[in-house]
Structure 1
Amino acid sequence: LPRFTDMKPNVIRLWGVRCGKSGRILRWNLLSIVFLIVINSTCADIQPIDVEPAIKKEQPDFEDDTGAMGVGPMPGSPLREAPHKSPISVSAKPASTAKATMAVIEEEMNFMHAFVASLFIIVVSELGDKTFFISAIMAMSHPRMIVFAGAMTALAGMHVMSAMFGYVITIIPRMYTFYASSALFAIFGLKMLRDGWNMAADEGKEEMEEVQTDLRKRDDNYEREPLEEGGAGQKRGSRNRILGLVSRVFLQAFTLNVLAEWGDRSQIATVLMAAREDLSGVLVGGLIGHFLCTGLAVMGGRMIAARISVRTVTLIGGVVFLLFAVSALIIGP
């Protein structure tokens, strides 16, 4: 270190050399250099903390090429005590993600298959059926919206009830219900093909005339009731007559469609589809099918009934039933 021999404020002696003010600056620079050297040498002696084993996985003992067993980590070392993830859990995450994706895709495919099957079967079963003619004929002499509301309420209620009944019977093993429903689909298809083949060309006109006659009798009975009551029926106000007409038309459309749909092939087909297909797909597809058929009947029932052939629709329906039976057997339960 510098040796001070002169205590004058502006003159110092550095290692035997007489200096002025610049010597004081040089002295502080040398002190700083010496301080940094000492700190560096002290830090070099300190061993760094090894934190890498804390994140490494525990490695098993290994055998080298010479046959000697390698020494594994000590029991108390951080390498053994540090928590680690199992390779199985790491690889299981992508596997579980792929399995979940496949489950979603399979669920969507089941929904679409049930939706398409229910939609087509309801359309080919109801188009030209008795319920179709009931809505078409009632819409000719009554408000269309009321007829549509009554018919759609009846058909939707019957469809939901049939689907729920089919879903309940799934307590039976799926294998039995699957093959039983496929066999019934094939039987329905063959029966429709036979009926269509033996059906006369004017079969639709005869059924339409039958429905028209039944509706005319009901209207005559309703008009006869106020006459039997005397003047009580004539004293009702216009508001009561409108409400009575709306309720009468709605109830008539509802009742006739329920009676016509009960035990129909579309109802039995709905029960069979709900027993083996996706329930939500069957419900949505069937409701859309009933909506389309009832809407066509109400909007242009007479025109459609005059131009379509019930025989052709029946034959197409038989083919559709057979196709779904065969496709179900190919896909399997």
Structure 2
Amino acid sequence: MIGVSELGDKTFFIAAIMAMKNSRFIVFSAAFCSLILMSVLSAALGYALPNLIPREYMNYLASLLFLCFGIKMGFEGYNMSGEEAEHEMEEISEELLEKDEIERIESAETGGVADETNNSSFKEGLVNLCQFIFSPVFVQTFILTFLAEWGDRSQIATIALAAAQNVYLVTMGVIIGHGFCTCLAVVGGKFLAAKISVKTVTIIGSILFIAFSIIYFYEEMTKIN
């Protein structure tokens, strides 16, 4: 499920583009660490939900969520053009170039002079500490991946799965899925972007999500009967 929802997604292209101009090992480490953190947080949230909402309702909610995502992905896949992957990659590449240009301009304006006004926020201090411990490429890739994944359908699906199934197995499966997709992006992202059909992958994902919805609903109805 994670494979078909993440292959050709925004996080996939971020890792692919960053790996084209930076160390593949650093980019993979940063993106994978970010996705592991997101997976653990999502699974933990899903694990906590049954304590607030009865599990039988959680199964119905999971079924409804998968059905909604499946229908949404189906419409997206149906309306996609054949060159969706190339357009997505170009768009993200332009966004990253703009971000790099802004950072260069800001760096030139400050001229490296130390700020004596003590106006730097705690967030800026934390970012500076991370940049000191890790390379700027690691920090940038980690943050970009985390922000791109936040609120994504794979995160919501992870929460729903963890709420209805064994949280440890769900977490392990999600992490393995993210690791596989990230590895593909870093090693051959540009080649895959030219070869894969995001339209086909999205439609397959839609079918899988709807299938999960039916399975969850059927399992709960079987328990009642």
The two structures have a TM-score, normalised by structure 1, of 0.58
Residue 266 of structure 1 aligns to which amino acid in structure 2? S
Please point out which of 130, 147, 154 is paired with 2:34: 154
Larger Rg: 1
Shift of 1:226: 4.5
Aligned twin of 1:136: 16
- Contact 1:150–1:250 (CA under 8 A) maintained in structure 2: yes
Identify, as 1 or 2, the structure richer in helix.
Answer: 2
Greater relative contact order (CA < 8 Å, ≥ 6 in sequence): 2
Give the aligned partner of residue 278 of structure 1: 166
Native 8 Å contact 1:148 1:295 kept in 2? yes
In the TM superposition, residue 229 of structure 1 has moved relative to its aligned partner by 4.5
Q: Does 1:196 align with 2:77?
A: yes
Structure 1 unaligned blocks of 5 or more: 1-120, 233-242
Note the C-alpha offset of 1:225. 4.3
Q: Percent sequence identity over matched residues?
A: 49
1:158-197 per-position Cα deviation (integer Å, ceiling 9, x unaligned): 1110110011011111111111111111111111111101
> Which structure 2 segments of 5+ residues have no match?
114-130
Aligned counterparts of 2:58 and 2:69: Cα–Cα separation in 1:
16
1:316 maps to: 204
The aligned residue for residue 295 of structure 1 is: 183
Partners of 1:175 and 1:155 in 2: how far apart? 29
Change (3 A) 1:182 1:144: same
Deviations 1:75-101 (A, max 9, x none): xxxxxxxxxxxxxxxxxxxxxxxxxxx
For the residue of structure 1 that corresponds to 2:180, the secondary structure is: helix
Normalising by the residue count of structure 2, what TM-score does the alignment of the two structures yield? 0.85
Alignment of 1:144-293 (within 5 A): 144-171=24-51, 172-230=53-111, 247-293=135-181
Indicate conservation of the 8 Å contact 2:47/2:162, yes or no: yes
Structure 1 position 222, deviation (Å): 3.0
Match of 2:121 in 1: none
CA RMSD of aligned residues (A): 2.0
Residue by residue over 1:10-52, the C-alpha shift from the partner in whole angstroms, topping out at 9 and shown as x without a partner, is: xxxxxxxxxxxxxxxxxxxxxxxxxxxxxxxxxxxxxxxxxxx
3-state SS, counterpart of residue 201 of structure 1: coil
